[in-house]
Amino acid sequence: MNTKTQLSRTLYGIQTRNSNETPHEIAALWQRFMADGLADEIPERADEQLIAAQFDYRGDHTQPYTLFLGCEVTETWQQSSTANDREATSP
């Protein structure tokens, strides 16, 4: 596995709790994100990249975790937002 260190950034999107026991939930989240055009509705997107992140593992990689789909938002939006954002950093 490759690990890449990055600066902190603010992400905006949707998330769900998931486990390897329920892979259909991964597909459902991607389906919702793409079919509903959620990326196009994200305010002040920093670029056209989509970000998928897995975090908050309950234990090791076989345990439940949070799956996030979204985009990075600009500093301008960060300063004016009152939304419940999740700041993510890569290890």
pLDDT at 91: 36
For residue 83, pLDDT over 70 is answered with no
Report if residue 27 sits inside a domain: yes
pLDDT at 52: 94
Report if residue 69 sits inside a domain: yes
The edge-to-edge listing of strands for the beta sheet with 86-88 is 51-55, 65-72, 9-18, 86-88
Question: Is 11 within 8 Å of 85 (Cβ atoms)?
Answer: yes
- Per the structure, the count of domains in the chain is 1
Range of the domain at 45: 9-80
Report if residue 33 sits inside a domain: yes
**Other CB atoms within 10 Å distance of the CB of residue 34:** 12
Report if residue 31 sits inside a domain: yes
Report if residue 90 sits inside a domain: no
Alpha helices, H only, the chain: 23-35, 38-41, 75-80
Report if residue 4 sits inside a domain: no
For residue 23, pLDDT over 80 is answered with yes
Q: Which of 38, 41, 43, 34 has the alpha carbon at shortest distance from 10?
A: 43
E strands in the chain: 9-18, 51-55, 65-72, 86-88
